[in-house]
Amino acid sequence: MTPWQRRARLTAAVVAIGGAAGAYWMTGTRTVAPPPPAVTELAPTVTARVTSGEAEQTSGPRQDFALTFKEQVTYSDNRTVATDVKVTVRQRDNKTFDVTGREGTIGAGQSSVQFNGNVVLRSQDGLVAKSDSASYADGEGIVRAPGPVTFAQGKTHGAGVGMTFDKKRDVLTVLENATAHIEGRATDGVMDVTAGTFTDARRDRYMQLQKAAKVVRPGQTLAADEMLVYLFPDRDEPDSIELRGSASITGGAGFGALQAMRATSVNIDYADDGRTVQHLTLAGEASIALAGGTAAAAGQRLAAEWIDIALAPDGAITSLVGRERLIVTLPAQAATPARTIRAAELTGDGVAGAGLTSMRFTGGVDFREGGTAKTAATRIARSTTLTLALTTGGAAERATFGGDTTFEDGTLKATAAEARYLITDDRLVLAGKPGTPPRVTDTGLEVGATDIAIGLATNAVSATGAVSTVMQPAAARAGSGPSRTPALLAGDQPLFAAAEGFEYDSQARRATYTGKARLWQGATDIRAATVTLDEQKGDLTAGGGVTSTLALASAGGAAPAKGTIARGQELAYDDAARTATYTSGAQMSGPAGDLTSDRIALVLASAERTLERIEGYGNVMARVAARDARGGRLTYHASDERYVLTGAPVTFTEDCRVTTGRTLTFFGTAGKLLVDGNEAVRTVSKGGGRCTPTPPSPR
């Protein structure tokens, strides 16, 4: 109080006392007045002191701001300090909140307050926040608390450092080291939140977490640089959550088979229970890991730039989409090797109770099976599309490749328009398209056909429809057991074949051609209904009407200008005996002449692919250089072109002369004739003159 103010007060008191005395003396009343209350001298720094006061600000009929206090003191430096101060603020929706404190410094026009000591903010909807100090400016409409704070509302409570509360937006923000504990329903457990900054927008029903945000729920941990949690209107349970920046989710509770997820951003849409996830979207270097079939088994993994997942109420995946830089890993399980699939896009389908039942990959598909981080994959397939059928346990059951497919399994290589890999059967089925049949090669065996199936455990090949094969020499091809090329064929040249059907057993090294089968190599050509080549033994068999051309060298080693043509219902070549036997109406035509018999055997020399002799058994008819011979058995010796015919009787016809006997020997060139060991024992003229030539043997 200034000196003039003190003098003015003193003068007023003197005047009042004088007036009272004058009245007393004038009226003559002598009543004694009670003593006036004691006047407390104010401190020199105090200009005013008010007790139990209140003030308010209004906008028209509505009160916006009300201030109450136990005592208010105004100081000479224009500060106004109140004790047990309380500020009540009306919000936009006519709800109110109040802030109380042990002491408050009131700003000009009583529109702002700085609170100190036991500061408590209470909102009409149940929010309670506490701190040691806070401030409120009505023009700004924000309560600010700089130090440690705690807050609670309903089943949510938390703490941190620094706080703001925006009356216009009804938003509470904890500025640093924020933590929150949210109690769910009895069956749902709790949700613990930590972040650098925590914002609780009560009116708009969302929470925003920034700076190393983390949400921990029973069986779940969610983390990201920033997180938005959208709450249900009626309870503090998440309706959806958005994770931004280094997002990760671990734990399968509520996520079904999904055990871990990572991405730059993740959107989670919860079911009505606030715990079960029904939809997920991951963007930016996204990856997911699924639970394995057992607790100890690793599950499937998927990585892509963008992943979208829909889940059934039981957590089973019902839809899965992945795009860009896609990699799916199916881990090894027991005897099942690991598999890795790369593609541009993935679409997966599933059902409740079972999960994913199929995956469809498109765009530059690369499928790899087996191998480790240090070893190459055992099987590699590439195609335009791949459809993967899964078992109820999530294991791959069947893979269907489409569009320019290639498949490699060790030495085996296949190309096709479509390939079906029957994983549980370890079998590969190939199909072509018009003009482009599938083809298989395996260390010197090349197969083309309309349809081809391969037993991958043994590389056994089965083909149907317009089959064509090229077989390199046996020694150049893989397989178990020894390999021998039949002496009927050249061991240093490829063998070509065609048929309607083909079976190749690489372990037994046996090739079987069926339906208009044909094998050829140079001048050698074998045709029959079926042809079988056994490379372990070097044997060859044919049946169902055999026609063959054999390019056998003569005794001198020179190949004949014209091959030997042999026919029969059946052909059996025994490489150990080096004998080719034709049965059932056998016929042969070649440099050794024309021969028909019930059975004809061609015997090769022991060291070379040359003809050593020919044997005819039963109903033998031979025509050699205009000479006919008939008997029960014929042996032709290639070394001296000698024919030995036996039977009862044998006949030999030459220039209308007929010679008979039990044994007859003659030579390929005109020369001596031995009958029963003697030269020309008897000749008989046929018809006593000109005779009818003996017709040639049928061919």
User: Each residue of 504-519: pLDDT tens digit?
Assistant: 988 888 999 999 999 9
Q: Is residue 677 scored above 80 in pLDDT?
A: no
pLDDT above 50: residue 401? yes
Q: State the distance between the two ends of the chain, measured CA to CA, in whole angstroms.
A: 149
Q: Is the pLDDT of residue 19 over 50?
A: no
Is residue 666 over pLDDT 60? yes
Q: In whole numbers, what is the pLDDT of the chain averaged over residues? A: 83
Beta bridge partner(s), residue 118: none
Higher pLDDT, 583 or 297: 583
Tell whether the model's pLDDT for residue 688 goes beyond 50: no
Domains of the chain: 3-43 (no CATH), 552-685 (2.60.450.10)
Is the confidence at residue 689, as pLDDT, over 50?
Answer: no
Q: Which H, E and C letters describe 627-658, residue by residue?
A: EEEEEEEEEEECCCCEEEEEEEEEEEEECCEE
Q: Return d(Cα 321, Cα 86) in angstroms, integer.
A: 57
Which of 243, 237, 172, 191 is CA-nearest to residue 213? 243
Res. 356 pLDDT band, cuts 50 70 90: confident
What is the helix, strand, coil percentage profile of the chain, to 5? Answer: 5, 65, 30
* Beta-strand runs (E) in 17-108: 46-51, 54-59, 62-68, 71-75, 80-90, 96-106
Share of the chain above pLDDT 90, in %: 43
Q: Which residues contact 437 (CB under 8 A, 6 or more apart)?
A: 448, 449, 450, 466
Asked whether the predicted pLDDT for residue 302 surpasses 70, the reply is: yes
Rounded CA gap, 103 and 375, in Å?
75
Two tokens, residue 651? 């006949």
E-assigned strand segments in 432-563:
439-442, 445-448, 451-455, 460-471, 495-505, 510-521, 524-534, 539-550
Residue 4's pLDDT is 34
Q: For residue 212, what are its two tokens?
A: 């190393």
pLDDT of residue 560: 53
Phi, psi values for residue 15, rounded to 5°? -60, -40
pLDDT of residue 138: 77
Out of 112-121, 225-234, 481-490, least confident range: 481-490
Q: How confident is the model at residue 213 (pLDDT cuts 50, 70, 90)?
A: very high
Average pLDDT rounded to a whole number, residues 201-218:
88
- Which comes out higher in pLDDT, residue 245 or 294? 245
Q: Is the pLDDT of residue 13 over 50?
A: no
pLDDT beyond 70 at 690: no
Q: Specify the 3-state DSSP secondary structure of 19.
A: helix
* Nearest residue to 405 via CA among 462, 365, 445: 365
The predicted model scores a pTM of 0.76
pLDDT digits (tens, 9 = 90+) for 539-571: 999 999 999 998 887 665 555 546 789 999 999
| Biggest distance spanned by C-alpha atoms of the chain | 209
Q: What is the pLDDT of residues 166-184, one digit of tens each?
A: 888 888 899 999 999 988 6
Block residue for tokens 């060790």: 410
